[in-house]
Every structure is written in structure tokens, then in C-alpha cells.
Structure 1
Amino acid sequence: MSFPKTQTEWQAALAALPSNPDKIPAFFFGHGSPMLIAPIGERSRAMPSAMGPEGYLASFLRDFGPALRAKYNPKGIVVFSAHWETLGVRHVTDYGDRNPLLMDYYGFEPSYYGQKFESRGDRTLAERVVQLYKEAGQEARLTSVEESRGWDGRASPPRPGPGLDHGVFVPFKLMFGEQVDDVPIVQVSIESSTNPEQNWAVGKAVAKLREEGILVLAGGLTVHNLRDRKHFAEHQASPNVRDFEKAIPVAASQSELDQRKQLMFNLVKHDGFRDAHPTAEHFVPLYIAAGAGEEGDVKVINAIYSAPTIAFGI
């Protein structure tokens, strides 16, 4: 099977998405790292140049955001990030008129901490998300700006704080610009589990949002090994990691739901999984997007190594 990898190919895939605001697909996307917003010309921290500000992923994200806005004109965005895990209870941001940023990375140059991304939340949308989880028999609650949810690297030592984490504001800055006034953004925590079925259920619970004009995005990476960084570069990664990476779009593209679920669930048993993911938090957002869009077709929008984008529920 062949999947889009060049800009010409992914632009064609984006253009081919149906314009259907009444049933917006759910998307898994590669959210990258803070390197995406590095000053041009600055050497990345042992990350491949493809993941930097002039690389393939940054180019894709700059195409991806405007295409989503043009195709679906969403009333709101509900986003899941690999960088916010909770156990058993979904936490849903209720940040009001201004979403704070959680710069949850440490020891970077000052330019990384001067980043801006202005957006707002929405109480009605946040409460709707909580309602859907409760209707699905899952626990969920709102979290306010008064409640810490992680550690912010702007202080030394890092201080606790609220906010959209870098798995959201870094790619969104490239996708939507530095300011988003017209579309509220609400972030939801992922389930702290390697179990695919649990995070599939996290996504499935909010599937109705797609019929209510809400764009559901789940960000992560299909390769994330900070202990052995060679795997971030396709030409340096071990054969089992490359095989694992190639198996992902094949599994996700299966047209028959039961087969798709089985092949996707089996990915965590693949020989290359643990070399690609010593911890699973960057991989399981794939299951959230798949659960939110389990009914319908699937389309691989790009197959950038370690950072693909897949549309579920077309």
C-alpha cells in the first residue's frame, strides 16, 4: 500500500476530503515537539531536521489547519494530547475567555518560552464533553485555571500550572496562527493506559460531537523514544521500528471495522512497539481518534515518518 508523503501528495489528500460540517472526521495527527517553533537556523536537539521549523511536519501543519477551517468551519475544537494523562477520570478544561499555556518542557533557550498562542475556552462545550462521558458510563469533570495539571518550564525549578500543553499550542500555532478568537478550544485528558480498548472508548464517547460541528483532534507520535533517539530518524531506526511504523497506516486503513480494530489493537504487541514507545502515551491518542471516528471510512492524509495524520469517520 502507498500513502502520501510529499507535500503534493498530502495537499491532494486534504483536497479530497469531503466538505461535510455535519459529520466532521476525527483526526490523529503528529503533534511534533517544541523544535517546530525553534528559530530558523537553530540546531535541533538531536532531532531530525524533518521535525524542525522548516521540515516536513511543519510544512504539513501549515497546510493542515487552513484545510480543516475551509472544509469544516468548526464551531469548536476538542483536542487530546499525549502530554496530559489521567487515570480513570477525564479532565476537561474550563478556562473561560483565555486559555493559558503550559510550557511543559525544560532547559530550552529563552525563545522557546516567549511563544504566544491566544485562544479561548467555552463552558458550554466543556460541559457537553463531560455530559457525553457520563452518558457513556465514564467519569469526567471540569478543571479550571485555578487547578494545576502539569509542570511549567518557564520557572526554575519548574512550577505547577494549568494550560494547553505543548502538544496542543505548538502544532496549533503552525496550523491556525498565533491567535484564534472565533473557535473555542477545549482540551481533554487521555487515559493513562497502554490498553487500546480504553482509549478507543475515550474517543467513542465523544463521537457525537462530530455531528454537532465540533472538530475532534488527537495528537501524538507513532515513534517516541527519548532514551534512544536514533529511532526518530527513519534511516537510523532499527528494522523492527521501521516495520512497526509501516504497519500503522495499513492497520488503520482497513475498511471493515472489526478487522481494523483487531489489527490496530495488535500494534501494541508488535516486536517494534517497545523500541518505538518505551512509554505508550504518545501512541494511544491514535486509538482516541479511531474511536471517535469508528463509523465510516478512514484515510491516511500523510505518512510522514513518526508523525502521520489519519482521518477517521469520513
Structure 2
Amino acid sequence: MNTRLPVLFLSHGSPMHAIEPSAAADAWAQAAAGLLRPRAVLMVSAHWDSGLPLLGGSAQPETIYDFGGFPDELYRIRYAAPGAPDVAQQAQALLREAGFTAGIDGCRGLDHGAWIPMLKMYPQADVPVLQLSVQPALGAAHHHALGQALASLRDAGVLIVGSGHMTHNLRDAFVGMRQGDNLPVAAYANEFRDWIDVRVRGGQIDELLQWETQAPQARRAHPTPEHFLPLFVALGAAGAGYQVQSLSAGYDFGVLAMDAYRFT
């Protein structure tokens, strides 16, 4: 029996996915329901950036409300899952073996890129969770190599989840929020999303690693890269010859592509 866990990439969207029904949140829940229960979940969240790779080592990570202007209901949610300090140490050792300088932050909580998907995937908060930071200055190849270094965790019961976004232009998204529902999809977002999707499905890693210069509308789709980098950790952990399944797609506010993938 193959007990190797898959790898997920999620576009985590607005914090409102925590309290409002959505196709994306349903897809996250369905993805988790179809898995063997993991020993722990390693969330690579776009909302924790650092100069070098850091792992969350707290035994009981706090819920971080790293957003503003949302309903009070969101700030009353506490996602009280235990941490996984043992997995943090194991992951740190793997990264160091691969030549990375990696640390453990014993105080770091769970930001909304981690706890909102976890709330839908494991609503009982009974699966340990820890985070890995991203390094926006170091690019796609660095993050792909991080994923490769951590891939063996999949055989140790750890579910690796990249939590970022297929497209992430917040300025355009805020315009869309003000305009309301049923917005047409922005052409630039769709062009970028389709280019990436074709190459993810085709395993064209070399082209994907050059996304900033090769993908159409890359700078507008991602004015800053941090929300795209978790995809490369997921691709690295998936390994060569992966199979990919789409978990969800569509757009929020006409510009935020909500694609999610399962890699096996």
C-alpha cells in the first residue's frame, strides 16, 4: 500500500473564505477528506516572508489576524491546532543537508494563509500544523529546491501545502470588490493563468522557473512575487513525473485566479 501523501497548492483568496460559502473552500475540504490522515501539515504561506527559510516551531501556535477591515466574526475565530516542533526539526535537518541555512522560530503563529485553509480542511483543529516561510528575494528556483529537499516528508506522514495565489494583484482586486459580483475576468489575469496552467499540467518546470520573464502579463498578475512562490515549493516536493489534478479554478473579483492543484 502506497502511503506517500500528495502535495497541494491552494490559492487561498480573501479571508472571507473562512466565513462565507465558496467553491474554493469546498474544494479544500474535499481534498482533505480524500486523504489519509496526515501526521502533520506543513503550510508554505505567502504571508510569512524572511531572508532565509524559517520553520514554525511552536507547540501551540497562535492564530494571527494579519488583515484589517473585515467583519468582527473573523477576528473571533481561533484555530487552535497543535504545532509540530518535531516536524520542524526534521524539516530543518533536511534543508541543512541540502545546503540551506534554515532556522526555527519557536514563537511564530499561523497567519491567514495557513489557518483559513486549515479551518476548512481540518475544522476540528486536530491535525498538527507548522509553517515554512518564503524568501521573495530569492526567486522560483530557490523555492523549487526547497520543495525538493523536503519531499521525503511526504513518506513520513506530512502533507505539504503551498498556500499562495495563481494571480495576486490586490490593487485590481480592491477595485473589483467595490464593483460587486459577476465581474468579467480581466484579460491579463486569464492570459497569465492559462500560460501557467498549461505548463503545470505538462510538467514544464524549466519554463515555469522563468515565469517572471516568460509568462505573459507576469508583472501585472504578480506585482510582488511572494504569493506565487509557494507553487514552486509544491512543484519541487511533487518531484519529477508528477501527476496533477485540478481541485478548483475560477476567479474572485475578476482578477484573483483561485486555482488549486493536487500533485501525486
TM-score (norm 2): 0.88
- Distance of 2:115 and 2:248 partners within structure 1: 22
Does residue 307 (structure 1) correspond to residue 258 (structure 2)? The answer is yes
- SS in structure 2 of the partner of residue 195 of structure 1: helix
- SS in structure 1 of the partner of residue 53 of structure 2: strand
Give RMSD over aligned pairs. Answer: 2.0
Correspondence for 1:213: 157
Correspondence for 1:25: 6
Cα contact 1:231–1:237 (8 A) shared by 2:
no
- Distance of 1:58 and 1:140 partners within structure 2: 32
Does residue 173 (structure 1) correspond to residue 140 (structure 2)? The answer is no
Does residue 61 (structure 1) correspond to residue 42 (structure 2)? The answer is no
Residue deviations 1:176-211, cap 9 Å, x none? 10x323x32111111223621011112111011112
Q: 1:24 to 1:171 in 2, by over 3 A?
A: same
* Structure 1 runs, 4 residues or longer, greater than 6 Å off: 231-234
Correspondence for 1:50: none
Correspondence for 1:85: 49
Higher helix proportion, which one? 2
Residue deviations 1:240-272, cap 9 Å, x none? 3211111222101115xxxx1122123322231
- SS in structure 2 of the partner of residue 222 of structure 1: coil
Correspondence for 2:232: 287
Q: 1:121 to 1:303 in 2, by over 3 A?
A: closer
Residue type at the aligned position of 1:122: A
Residue type at the aligned position of 1:20: N
Cα contact 2:247–2:262 (8 A) shared by 1:
no
Correspondence for 1:264: 208
Residue deviations 1:191-234, cap 9 Å, x none? 22362101111211101111212111111111111111267989
Correspondence for 1:76: 40
- Distance of 1:202 and 1:193 partners within structure 2: 14
Cα contact 2:31–2:247 (8 A) shared by 1:
no
Residue type at the aligned position of 2:24: L
Gaps of 5+ in 2: 251-256
Give me the identity figure in percent.
28
- Distance of 2:101 and 2:176 partners within structure 1: 36
| Cα distance, 1:235 vs structure 2 | 5.2
Aligned residues: 253
Rg comparison, structure with higher value: 1
Residue type at the aligned position of 1:286: L
Q: 1:276 aligns with which of 221, 224, 231?
A: 221
Cα contact 1:82–1:285 (8 A) shared by 2:
yes
| Cα distance, 1:32 vs structure 2 | 2.0
Correspondence for 2:85: 123
| Cα distance, 1:135 vs structure 2 | 0.3
Cα contact 2:24–2:248 (8 A) shared by 1:
no
The farther-off stretch of 129-138 and 119-128 is 119-128
- Distance of 1:292 and 1:186 partners within structure 2: 16
Residue deviations 1:25-59, cap 9 Å, x none? 22111222211123xxxxxxxxxxxxxx2221122
Does residue 195 (structure 1) correspond to residue 139 (structure 2)? The answer is yes
Matches within 5 A, 1:155-166: 162-166=108-112
- Distance of 1:136 and 1:169 partners within structure 2: 28
Correspondence for 2:253: none
- Distance of 1:248 and 1:125 partners within structure 2: 31
- Distance of 1:286 and 1:135 partners within structure 2: 22
Correspondence for 1:159: none
- SS in structure 2 of the partner of residue 169 of structure 1: helix
Correspondence for 2:105: 143
Residue type at the aligned position of 2:260: T
Correspondence for 1:94: 57
Correspondence for 1:114: 76
Cα contact 2:23–2:248 (8 A) shared by 1:
no
